[in-house]
């Protein structure tokens, strides 16, 4: 039943079931892994062990997991295997996002979509929209899946392009308008990446796009505002608030899983406190 729903319904059910809007980012940086995991193990094996432990320790507090593909591709020929195995470790009651930031056209975009949604069976993917609708439409052909368009990203230098005034509005708002149009008559769901480091963006975009799901990164190590993020939450406009490094790397010793679990629990609790009157 769960797999047959559209993405917004699946997100609502996952968040209601888990009482959480937290998305945990699985960005396993080999240089920051606890050293004991690398003793006697290859980098790929250490990453798998790290991911398995993090998923088990944070799963009670998360409704989704986001995997940044760069941290798997850097592992070389075993990277795809590690990515596949990590994807299969994630319990069925959590949604999965491939943070791939794909952005190509035509048959190439279609192959990217097949890899992410068919081979790896992710529930959602991030897309760079610079090449226009051609980059998004192959992903939107999949019922029950979501495409999170990079709209207002959390990095500092995003102001170089995204804040430019175009047609009387910031360029990022124009991108968002086009993305919503791309979704017309397509079975998939358009979502937006809206960085929590820009305190005005989540509420501004929510006012313009009341039902679009938002993926909000940047509230952990990048110093973004949980309060600004949760202001974009409504009953019809769901949000996923992502935290990666701030959860993964709280400790570098044998207690890394315990500390990750504690911070995930604290983050979930704080987000839920800020959600009044909205409840996931």
Which residues have a catalytic role annotated? 101
The whole-angstrom separation of Cα 233 and Cα 135 is 27
The whole-angstrom separation of Cα 220 and Cα 155 is 13
| Residue whose token pair is 């490094």 | 245
Q: In Å, what is the CA distance from 195 to each residue of 53, 88, 127, 152, 160?
A: 27, 28, 15, 6, 15
Q: Nearest to residue 146, comparing CAs of 118, 122, 111? A: 122
């Amino acid at each position: 039943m769960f797999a047959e729903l559209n993405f917004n319904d699946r997100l609502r059910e996952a968040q209601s079931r888990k009482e959480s809007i937290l998305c945990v980012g699985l960005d396993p940086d080999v240089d920051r892994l606890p050293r004991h995991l690398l003793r006697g193990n290859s980098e790929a094996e250490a990453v798998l062990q790290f991911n398995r432990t993090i998923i088990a320790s944070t799963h009670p507090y998360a409704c989704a997991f986001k995997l940044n593909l760069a941290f798997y591709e850097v592992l070389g020929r075993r990277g795809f295997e590690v990515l596949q195995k990590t994807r299969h470790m994630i319990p069925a009651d959590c949604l999965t996002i491939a943070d791939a930031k794909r952005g190509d056209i035509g048959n190439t975009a279609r192959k990217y979509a097949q890899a992410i949604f068919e081979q790896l069976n992710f529930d959602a993917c991030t897309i760079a929209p610079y090449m226009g609708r051609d980059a998004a439409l192959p992903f939107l052909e999949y019922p029950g899946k979501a495409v999170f368009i990079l709209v207002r990203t959390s990095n500092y230098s995003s102001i170089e392009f995204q804040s430019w005034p175009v047609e009387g509005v910031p360029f990022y708002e124009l991108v968002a308008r086009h993305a919503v149009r791309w979704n017309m008559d397509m079975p998939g769901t358009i979502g937006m990446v809206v960085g929590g480091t820009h305190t005005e963006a989540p509420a501004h975009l929510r006012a313009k796009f009341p039902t679009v799901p938002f993926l909000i990164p940047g509230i952990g190590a990048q110093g973004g505002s949980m309060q600004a993020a949760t202001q974009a939450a409504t009953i019809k406009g769901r949000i996923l608030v992502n935290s990666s490094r701030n959860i993964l790397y709280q400790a570098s010793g044998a207690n890394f899983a315990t500390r990750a679990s504690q911070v995930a629990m604290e983050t979930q609790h704080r987000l839920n406190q800020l959600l009044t009157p909205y409840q996931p």
